[in-house]
């Protein structure tokens, strides 16, 4: 297991530390842990690309670590009344629909090779910014206008969910060999 995958494992290990610090009202430590976990997200991708060490394990583990970190963050911060319920519902609903869609594709005999899209990456980026902005605004009284981040997160999360659903339906309904393919333009 390479450095990139180890960084992803560190991110997963930091999740209960982050949640515990939030619940025990230690926002400074929680913020540092969240920033460290977010940094591992940036570094693992960088090292995997730089060293040409992209693996199937990393392709599975990295987005899973992101989902775990963000799900734990949104649920905990909603419980603590730092983030409103509606944005957490948007984030979790999209992830639940994607999980159910992936299970349906798997059950129907399809195979999924997860490839991140720019909308998916944007969604993750804005979700992390939402957590950061909400924490800075509530715990540190730094004016970050978290509502702007809530709406940006809602837009990107919904758009990426629609995009992934569209891609999933194409996996469920591949064109049969007997169906004529759409003509292609040849120059």
Could you tell me the domains of the chain? 3-172 (1.20.120.1760)
pLDDT band with cut points at 50, 70 and 90 for residue 14:
very high
Lowest mean pLDDT: which of 90-94, 118-122, 156-160, 182-186?
Answer: 182-186
| pLDDT at residue 168, as a whole number | 83
Question: Cβ–Cβ contacts within 10 Å for residue 82, how many?
Answer: 19
Of 130, 137, 134, which Cα lies nearest the Cα of 154?
130
- Confidence check: pLDDT of 182 > 90: no
> Per-residue pLDDT tens for 69-124?
999 999 999 999 999 999 999 999 999 998 898 888 888 887 777 677 899 999 99
Q: Is 149 exposed, middle or buried (0-12, 13-18, 19+ CB in 10 A)?
A: buried
CB 97 within 8 A of CB 162: no
Q: What is the pTM of this model?
A: 0.86
More confident call, 38 vs 47: 38
CB 127 within 8 A of CB 91: yes
Q: Is 159 exposed, middle or buried (0-12, 13-18, 19+ CB in 10 A)?
A: middle
CB 115 within 8 A of CB 159: no
User: Rounded to whole angstroms, how far apart are CA atoms 144 and 95?
Assistant: 26
Query: 3-class SS at 67?
Result: helix
Q: Considering the chain, what is the average pLDDT of its residues?
A: 88
User: Rounded to whole angstroms, how far apart are CA atoms 73 and 82?
Assistant: 10
Q: What is the DSSP letter of 49?
A: H
Question: Cβ–Cβ contacts within 10 Å for residue 46, how many?
Answer: 12
CB 99 within 8 A of CB 112: no
């Amino acid at each position: 297991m390479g450095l990139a995958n180890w960084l992803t494992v560190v991110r997963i290990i930091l999740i209960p530390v982050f949640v515990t610090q939030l619940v025990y009202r230690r926002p400074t430590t929680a913020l540092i842990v969240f920033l460290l976990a977010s940094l591992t997200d940036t570094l693992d991708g960088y090292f995997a690309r730089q060293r040409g060490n992209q693996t199937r394990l990393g392709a599975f583990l990295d987005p899973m670590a992101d989902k775990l970190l963000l799900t734990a963050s949104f649920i905990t911060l909603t419980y603590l009344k730092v983030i409103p319920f509606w944005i957490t519902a948007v984030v979790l609903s999209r992830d639940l629909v994607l999980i159910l869609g992936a299970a349906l594709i798997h059950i129907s005999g399809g195979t999924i090779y997860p490839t991140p899209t720019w909308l998916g990456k944007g969604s993750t980026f804005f979700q992390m910014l939402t957590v950061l902005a909400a924490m800075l605004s509530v715990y540190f009284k730094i004016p970050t206008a978290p509502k702007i981040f809530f709406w940006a997160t809602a837009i990107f999360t919904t758009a990426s969910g629609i995009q992934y659903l569209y891609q999933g339906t194409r996996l469920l309904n591949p064109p049969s060999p007997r169906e004529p393919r759409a003509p292609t333009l040849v120059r």
